[in-house]
Structure 1
Amino acid sequence: MIRTLIVDDDALTLELHRSYLARIDGFIIAGECTGARAAVSAVLEHARDEPYDLVLLDITMPDGSGIDVLRALRARAASVDVIAITGVRDAESVRQMAALGVYQYLVKPFPFAVFEERLRAYREHREQARSTAGEATQSEIDALLGRSTGVIPLPKGLSSDTLQKVTAELRTSGALSASEAAERLGMSRVSARRYLEHLTSTGFVQRSARYGARGRPETEYAWSRRVG
């Protein structure tokens, strides 16, 4: 079993990742932390007896960043694998994490299917690394050094950049109808509704009826509290 430490300062996100990981064979949740300093201490304290194999690491935390955590661990020769799970998208953070040997950089929000695909890829990579001995072939070297980059594609006609904008607006503005989202984002109502329905189908958004003074109820979309 792959002993996994989950690090995130948000309780709802911890709960979500805990439930996701429990659905994938081969992993066991061996610990949880809500801060950068606690994460470093946890990994180092377990380095000799029952070490962690994998850390699911948030980047933004009150007492430090995931980059700080990874730097501290590498400075102490900790060989634990790390998958960054974060809402931080700037290129410099990605470059720094990559330079420090992060295995994956997974940007929130994402559905379970994406999480599962990345964790399964990591599990296969780990099994390949453990089974390779002696002189490695080129394909084995590629597998040992490789990074899984597979993603679940968006439906045709949707873009990841626009999806991020819709997501950000919904998380900060509360419940919105398709018309309200379209007006705020400067897009058509039909396009806004497609993004909102996609987020609903992947479990990030909850759909409900808004009853007004007259006429048919309007559909409104709200960010799911389970996602964080």
Structure 2
Amino acid sequence: MTDTIRVLIVEDEPLTAEAHAAYVGRLDGFTVVASAATGREMLAAVAAEKPDLVLLDVNLPDAHGLQLVRALRTAGSAVDVIAVTAANDARGVKNAIALGVVQYLVKPFSFRTFAERLTTYREYRRGFEDRRSMSQADIDERLGTLRPSAPAEAEKGIARETLESIEAVLMGAAGGASATEVARAAGTSRVTARRYLEHFITLGQVEKDVRHSGPGRPEYEYRWLR
């Protein structure tokens, strides 16, 4: 295994594909080697690039993602797959697990959630390096690393749904936004929006600066660090 995990992004929405590539680019130990917007492109990219990991949208224009995973397994490919999709039906999730999908991320999600899943995957993968055999304890430990740590809701006063809503608003504000503007777009109070924005600052994902817009009291403008 190499130190850097080679990632193929499979996503038919260009802006979403770019966002996922940007997320991967912010993580140590990962690099994007190719992107694909269709099932045909995905299969060709797996053959050509030999990625270690596929970030797979299940709903593609020409094929269902799990059909593609099944085709890869039939062809003998052991490439790891993380489903990154809005599909959350129980049967689909069960089938994904049966096909060996190592993580399942339901859209929309925050960078924090994305980073958490890929970091646990990286630790899982590293546990197989330089091993010819594994004890039961080793196997249990490897499987345990795929379980995510405490979710964002466990942090005092932080709800995942609100966190991801405010993240989406700020990421869509190219020139930054005030707490009032974020609150209006996210459907929260200004106090709540400001608290979540300050939380993002502590995570190093948002910066703020003073916005001067005429006479009166200046306000802070928050900007997502891209």
* TM score, norm. by length of structure 1: 0.70
CA distance in 1, matches of 2:102, 2:117: 14
One-letter code of the match for 2:54?
Answer: V
Q: Are the counterparts in 1 of residues 197 and 206 from structure 2 also a CA contact under 8 Å?
A: yes
CA distance in 2, matches of 1:207, 1:62: 40
Q: 2:157 is paired with a residue of what secondary structure?
A: coil
Superposition deviation, residue 206 in structure 1:
4.2
Q: 1:131 is paired with a residue of what secondary structure?
A: coil
CA distance in 2, matches of 1:62, 1:209: 45
Q: Are the counterparts in 2 of residues 37 and 69 from structure 1 also a CA contact under 8 Å?
A: no
Q: Which moved more, 1:156-165 or 1:62-71?
A: 62-71
Instruction: State whether structure 2 residue 93 is matched by structure 1 residue 90.
Output: no
Q: Which residue of 2 aligns with 1:168?
A: 168
Q: Which residue of 1 aligns with 2:14?
A: none
One-letter code of the match for 2:177?
Answer: L
Q: Which residue of 2 aligns with 1:17?
A: 24
* TM score, norm. by length of structure 2: 0.70
Q: Point out where structure 1 has 5 or more consecutive residues left out of the alignment.
A: none
Q: Which residue of 2 aligns with 1:131?
A: 131
Q: Are the counterparts in 2 of residues 87 and 109 from structure 1 also a CA contact under 8 Å?
A: no
Matches within 5 A, 1:47-126: 51-59=50-58, 66-84=65-83, 86=84, 88=86, 90-92=88-90, 94-106=93-105, 108-111=109-112, 114=116, 117-126=119-128
Superposition deviation, residue 140 in structure 1:
3.9
Q: Are the counterparts in 2 of residues 54 and 83 from structure 1 also a CA contact under 8 Å?
A: yes
CA distance in 2, matches of 1:96, 1:190: 43
Q: Which residue of 1 aligns with 2:34?
A: 32
1:83-120 Cα deviation digits (max 9, x unpaired): 33x36363545444323211123464224863663243
Q: Which residue of 2 aligns with 1:178?
A: 179
Q: 1:126 is paired with a residue of what secondary structure?
A: coil
CA distance in 1, matches of 2:34, 2:126: 24
Tell me the percent identity. Answer: 36
1:33-63 Cα deviation digits (max 9, x unpaired): 23242221222356xxxx4433343556665
Q: 2:181 is paired with a residue of what secondary structure?
A: helix
Q: Which residue of 2 aligns with 1:44?
A: 47
Number of positions where the alignment pairs a residue of Structure 1 with one of Structure 2: 211
CA distance in 2, matches of 1:152, 1:12: 24
CA distance in 2, matches of 1:68, 1:4: 22
Q: Which residue of 1 aligns with 2:159?
A: 159
Instruction: State whether structure 2 residue 213 is matched by structure 1 residue 199.
Output: no
Q: Which residue of 1 aligns with 2:147?
A: 149
CA distance in 2, matches of 1:193, 1:81: 39
1:118-163 Cα deviation digits (max 9, x unpaired): 2432223433xx6253xx6543443465551133654421111221
CA distance in 1, matches of 2:204, 2:67: 32
CA distance in 2, matches of 1:75, 1:216: 65
Q: 1:38 is paired with a residue of what secondary structure?
A: helix
Superposition deviation, residue 217 in structure 1:
1.9
One-letter code of the match for 2:7?
Answer: L
Superposition deviation, residue 193 in structure 1:
0.9
Q: 1:13 is paired with a residue of what secondary structure?
A: helix
Q: Point out where structure 2 has 5 or more consecutive residues left out of the alignment.
A: 12-16
- Structure 1 residues 62, 167: CA separation in 2 closer, same or farther (over 3 Å shift)? farther
- Structure 1 residues 61, 223: CA separation in 2 closer, same or farther (over 3 Å shift)? farther
